[in-house]
Amino acid sequence: MEKTLIILKPSCVQRGLIGEVTSRFEKKGLRLAGMKMVQLDDAILNEHYSHLKNRPFFQNVKDSMLSCPVIVQCWEGKSASKVVRSLIGITNGRDAAAGTIRGDFAVSSQENIVHASDSSEAAVIELNRFFDDYEIFDYKLSTLTNLYSNDEI
């Protein structure tokens, strides 16, 4: 099973959507393997968003992510990164499909409720950035056989 990172951004925390967004991943059948609230700082944001450092909106992204604590989560399942990306929708909430997290809760490209790893490779790097090994838990969901066929487990 693959693990992936989700960050519930300040726009999610401030709007009281933590439970509702988290329940979308649970209802899909993903397994929550780790979760904590953290206050991000410049160092981790510079590392996490280094691919945006030359973009004109980089400081706005950092300012937003520093505005209050965020919830970082590790979710696990078959093709977890791909599944999560389809659940959250495209970056700009105004253009995201109804039924996706961003389509249902966001009207901005920046204040778009969640960050999600864009690939399984990125997920490994990002999970290591935000979690220590002892903060990720391995346990078997009792509903596993109702989520996957025997040859998928």
Could you give the CA distance from residue 38 to residue 28 in angstroms, rounded to a whole number? 25
The tens digit of pLDDT for each residue in 62-83 reads: 999 999 999 999 999 999 999 9
Long-range contacts of 117-120 (CB under 8 A, 24+ apart): 117/4, 117/5, 117/6, 117/81, 117/84, 118/81, 118/85, 119/81, 120/2, 120/4, 120/80, 120/81
pLDDT band of residue 39 (cuts 50, 70, 90) is very high
Active site residue 115: yes
Shortest CA distance to 66 belongs to which of 43, 88, 50?
A: 43
Q: What's the pLDDT at 12?
A: 97
Instruction: Report how far residue 110's alpha carbon sits from residue 32's, in angstroms, rounded to the nearest whole number.
Output: 25
What residue ranges define each of the domains in the chain, with the CATH number in brackets?
2-147 (3.30.70.141)
Q: What is the DSSP letter of 112?
A: -
Catalytic residue among 115, 126, 130, 131: 115
Please give the pLDDT value at position 49.
87
pTM of the model: 0.93
Cα angle 22, 24, 27; round to 5? 110
Tens of pLDDT, residues 82-127: 999 999 999 999 999 999 999 999 999 889 999 999 999 999 999 9
Statement: residue 150 has pLDDT above 90: no
Q: Distance between CA atoms of 8 and 54, rounded to whole angstroms?
A: 24
Average pLDDT, the chain: 95
Residue 126, both tokens: 């990002």
